[in-house]
Amino acid sequence: MSPLKNDRFLKALLRQPVDRTPVWMMRQAGRYLPEYRASRGEAGDFMSLCKNPELACEVTIQPLERFPLDAAILFSDILTIPDAMGLGLYFETGEGPRFNKIIRTEADVQSLKVVNTESDLDYVLKAVSTIRSELNGRVPLIGFSGSPWTLATYMVEGGSSKDFRHVKAMMYDTPEVMHQLLDVLAKSVIDYLNAQIRAGAQAVQIFDTWGGSLSDVAYQEFSLRYMRQIVEGLTRVYDGQQIPVILFTKGGGQWLESMADTGADALGLDWTTDIGQARRRVGDKVSLQGNMDPSVLYASPATIRTEVKRILDSYGYGTGHVFNLGHGIHQFVDPERAKAFVEAVVELSPGYHG
């Protein structure tokens, strides 16, 4: 593997000095880019794009050709694990992900096996190794997975949900069944992320998209407990390099101290938490990633620049900050606004370092 030419993202995650704040965007390879839409059209549909290592590599690198980003993130989907468990993932236009098989009973849960990534998700590993080779040390590659709770919500609801009625009913009525489901998912995520690391991922992120839907007590028991299990099971040094781990719970600002105690290297913040206050709460225990409201990218470049400066001011001087959006970039954002965002971080952040 080629040596890294730009390692400021990894350094910031590990709280090492950097010349400027590194920046990347969640969903940076996606529907807002016309070249992505062309690649998806070539593949035929979303899952065909995910399962084609060459096209997955192509769309992973597309945003790097446009913007001075400091990391690439594997192009894939958080629902590859349930798909590999035999649930039959498909996407309906305008409706998002759906499953042919839904998990609702104890028997359903007991039918699930821990995923063997090497055999069940080899297309993801081929994509990781292809991307890592193609990057040729340009920037680090991020691997990722959904959190057990987030994966469970999709598996029990059968797709996206506004009220989480089926998964929360299972959680409250038959907690022992929910724990069985979350345990098999946590073991699968450990296998999945460690396989990505062996294939070439240089950092990993756990996306807990729906953790913020839980009560305080339920979050600790049904989401954070299993993310801690994953962090403890991950390969943290590979090929002589540290592999940083990022935890991101959308709507999780009230749990930062507990999240910092998991052993993760960094916490992702959504836009509802002030990053300066978050830094004061977690101290030097973890780095912070975030956290501009993605909707700011609908505003003028001048407004975007002002908001970038406000967040840099809030975080303050020194390392330990990876600039990002507070969630994924929206599909209707003009790529020129995304460019204004990334360039503002590149231009303004050196003054907070050195």
Query: Which entry of 37, 40, 66, 198 is annotated as an active-site residue?
Result: 40
**CB 246 within 8 Å of CB 264:** yes
Q: What pLDDT is recorded for position 2?
A: 80
> Letter for the amino acid at 98?
R
Select which of 154, 192, 226, 315 is catalytic: 154
Q: Are 101 and 173 in contact (CB under 8 A)?
A: no
**What is the structure's pLDDT at 321?**
98
Annotation says 15 is catalytic: no
Task: Please give the annotated binding residues for substrate, written as ranges.
Answer: 27-31, 77, 154, 209, 327
* Annotation says 154 is catalytic: yes
Amino acid at 194: N
Three-class SS state of 93: coil
Active site residue 27: yes
Q: How far apart are CA 265 and CA 163, in angstroms?
A: 32
**pLDDT digit of tens for each residue in the chain (354 aa)?**
788 999 999 999 999 999 999 999 999 999 999 999 999 999 999 999 999 999 999 999 999 999 999 999 999 999 999 999 999 998 877 778 999 999 999 999 999 999 999 999 999 999 999 999 999 999 999 999 999 999 999 999 998 899 999 999 999 999 999 999 999 999 999 999 999 999 999 999 999 999 999 999 999 999 999 999 999 999 999 999 999 999 999 999 999 999 999 999 999 999 999 999 999 999 999 999 999 999 999 999 999 999 999 999 999 999 999 999 999 999 999 999 999 999 999 999 999 998
- Exactly one of 7, 77, 83, 120 is catalytic; name it: 77
Give the C-alpha separation, 340 to 20, whole Å: 17
Asked if 329 and 32 count as a contact pair (C-beta separation under 8 A), the reply is yes
Count other Cβ atoms within 10 Å, centred on residue 241.
Answer: 16
Long-range contact pairs involving 253-258 (C-beta distance under 8 Å, separation at least 24)? 253/278, 254/216, 255/211, 255/216, 255/219, 255/220, 255/224, 256/281, 256/282, 257/281, 257/282, 258/220, 258/224
Count of CB atoms within 10 A of residue 39's CB?
Answer: 20
* Cα–Cα dist 267/293, whole Å: 16
Report pLDDT for 1: 74
Out of 8, 15, 20, 27, which one is annotated catalytic?
27
Could you count the other beta carbons within 10 Å of the beta carbon of residue 307?
A: 18
Residues of the binding site: 27-31, 77, 154, 209, 327
261 is catalytic: no
Question: Which one from 31, 98, 138, 198 is the annotated catalytic residue?
Answer: 31
CA dihedral 140, 73, 310, 318 (to 10 degrees): -20
* Contact between 170 and 178 (Cβ < 8 Å): yes
Query: For the chain, what is the largest distance between any 2 Cα atoms, rounded to a whole number of angstroms?
Result: 58
- Domains of the chain with CATH codes: 8-295+318-331 (3.20.20.210)
